């Protein structure tokens, strides 16, 4: 006899955009569709209601492309840290619904390794770059 088990539905690599990071990308690299932009920027009520409608229990959020891998210098390191801190706050506000993959400043491998270590201590599940 087959029993139905209640397993959580977890959606991986669910993109969102941080306002400060997304502002760095315009033109061909930027998203122009207003509906898509609305969904990329939303990590609140709209996203949660669409998750409920789709039967998704949790999303693993990651920064949509283009992301920090396109940035260079100390600005990349500092910006990536701020972006990850804001994403950590989103997860902390809804820990049963969201988890996160960190953005990394890959133009600086040592800084990227340090940021991965820092973010995993904050509870990030890894990185998607």
| pLDDT value of position 33 | 78
- Angle, CA of 92, 125 and 90, to the nearest 5°: 25
pTM (2 d.p.) = 0.87
3-state secondary structure of 12: strand
What is the signed CA dihedral for 27, 70, 122, 113, rounded to 10 degrees?
A: 180
CA–CA separation, 118 and 40 (whole Å): 25
Task: Render each residue's pLDDT in the chain as its tens digit; 129 residues.
Answer: 455 668 899 999 899 999 888 887 765 555 667 788 889 999 999 999 999 999 999 999 998 876 787 788 788 999 999 999 999 999 999 999 999 999 999 999 999 999 999 999 999 999 987
What is the signed CA dihedral for 33, 70, 78, 24, rounded to 10 degrees?
A: -30
| pLDDT value of position 34 | 79
Residue 40: how many CB atoms within 10 A of its CB?
18
| pLDDT value of position 30 | 58
| 10-127 CATH, one of 3.20.20.140, 3.30.70.141, 3.40.50.300, 3.40.50.880 | 3.20.20.140
| pLDDT value of position 27 | 58
Query: In the chain, what are the domain boundaries?
Result: 10-127
Residue 10, strand partner residues:
58
């Amino acid at each position: 006899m087959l029993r139905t088990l209640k397993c959580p539905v977890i959606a991986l690599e669910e993109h969102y955009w941080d306002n400060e990071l997304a502002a760095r990308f315009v033109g061909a690299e930027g998203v122009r569709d207003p509906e898509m932009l609305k969904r990329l920027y939303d990590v609140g009520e709209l996203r949660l209601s669409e998750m409920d409608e789709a039967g998704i229990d949790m999303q693993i959020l990651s920064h949509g492309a283009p992301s920090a891998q396109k940035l260079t210098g100390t600005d990349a390191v500092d910006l990536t840290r701020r972006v990850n801190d804001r994403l950590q706050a989103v997860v902390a506000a809804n820990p049963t619904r969201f988890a996160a993959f960190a953005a990394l400043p890959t133009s600086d491998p040592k800084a990227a390794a340090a940021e991965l270590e820092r973010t995993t201590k904050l509870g990030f599940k890894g990185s998607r770059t």
